[in-house]
Structure 1
Amino acid sequence: MTDQTDLSEEFEAYRARLLAIATRVLGSTADAQDVVQEAWLRLARQEPGSIENLGGWLTTVVGRLSIDAIRSRTTKGEVSYEEQFRDPIVTPDDADASQSPEDLAIQADALGLALMVVLGSLRPEERLAFVLHDMFAVPFGEIGQIIDKSADAAKMAASRARRKVQGAPRPTSGRHEQRRVVDAFLAAARDGDFDGLLEVLDPDLRWELHGSRDVTVTRGRKDLLRALARGRDSGVTARRVLVGGQPGILAWSPSGAPLTLMACTVENGRMTRVASLTDGARLERLDLPPRDPEESDA
């Protein structure tokens, strides 16, 4: 590394990987961006030529900063609500090559919401060990150095995490079927087709409404159907998206402000779970697709 320009260029070559690691460990794009920015600031303070393995050094810094961020959440009492619906990665369901390399790197193995919830229940070291080894092929020896433990201890931490992750629910429907169900849901909601909605909503539907202060959970279709009727009457528009790589819907108010982000679980041709994020402040900080799909290529 010679000067600040060269340093910045070398860092940018690692940015997508670092952001992907931090996003998976923290489950929050905003927190991940903060961690990566702090890693850059620390790198900029290093003496030129003092780092032999820049990629390893940056991975270590991002890993440790991510652990510190998780522990800080716990200290501040933020985990209980934030972990229930952590900031997801939201992309158009018709994503194509017009996306940036950074977007594609994050989306390539995007986590489903069920897996994100499982990761959120792990200890910080377990979460980091699992993400680094199983998703980014970092050797246990290097992981041990990052978490200040032996390679064997790092391997055990990843193994404990893996057992929990393997028990997470898996989608029983393929992507084509998921899209069909979401499209049918959107069409029925737009047209006020009550029977059509009943066709795609499971009778024992679990609806989680994540507001600005609390989370409300209901069983059955009644409450969601009422909310959909209100939205149709008020001119709400919506489009299909991917939420953490899984089927979802993003809705806007008539003024164009993001109104609701819905993450959907599709099983056997019906939606069995819908998690709706309606907290305006959290929606504003997410990197959301545009309301008009034509703007995706802009």
Structure 2
Amino acid sequence: MDCRTPAALLAEACAAVDRASAGAELIRAGENTLWRLPGKVVVRVGREGQVPAAHKELAVARWLRRHGVPAVRPLDRPPEPVEVHGRPVTFWHELPPHRPGRPVELAAALRTLHRLPPPIHPLDRLDPFVRLPARIDGAATLDRPQRRWLHARLAELRTAWHELALPQRPLRVVHGDAWSGNLAVADDAAYLLDFERTALGPPEWDLVTTAVGHYSFGALPARAYAEFCTAYGADVTEWPGYPVLAAVRELRLTCYALQQADADLRHRAQAHYRLACLRGEHGPRPWGWTALD
């Protein structure tokens, strides 16, 4: 494991491209670390082993720009990620002042994205189960029966996903992690960002997060969800494959909460409440899940 501090990694990456790191301001520290540099530059330091994903993020952002779709924009130099001790570091233009997107705004952005022709550069097929086995195995607050149950549920949903016969349906470019936090709305435009999970897949996958926010979390009012469906032009819950996609998304959100509970015990109760809901211990949806701060 790399024991270097985030600031040291930033300084080394900046030095590699002859850019000063003095005066850097930490924006967010998580799976990826974001820094703001003087001159309206944002630096994204990724996780170890994620260099290919960083190459994809740059390619997708430039592809969107060529199609006139507002998106976070990488600097021209360096043109590719800088690798520092196995971690990819990328440099981006800072967005203007903005707020997270509303569901209706996210729907409009997704409608535009899903209508674009796939790029020439290859994109992988969507893997909705990426990193889930590691999150289940690494969740320290789970006991052995809980871990076994999650692995069994994961196997069950893998089978259900493959039985959807998705190869027979036209695949589109999907964002892969389409939620309000990945749409930045400024005065001039609504900007898509975070293309780590962008892939070729069923466009319904990008709609499921909002649907789950309404039907599973109970956090999105019915009127807001109806506006989302109208803006996109479809209601994903009417698609026969929705129950499978929703169940996968619920599992992902539960495993993410379990991962966060390891780092912050404040999240332990919510993580295990979500797990209990999946196991049928709290009745039908909506379950009243709360977002992790």
| Higher fraction of helix | 1
- Shorter-chain TM-score bucket reads under 0.3
Normalised by the size of structure 1, how large is the TM-score?
Answer: 0.24
Normalised by the size of structure 2, how large is the TM-score?
Answer: 0.24
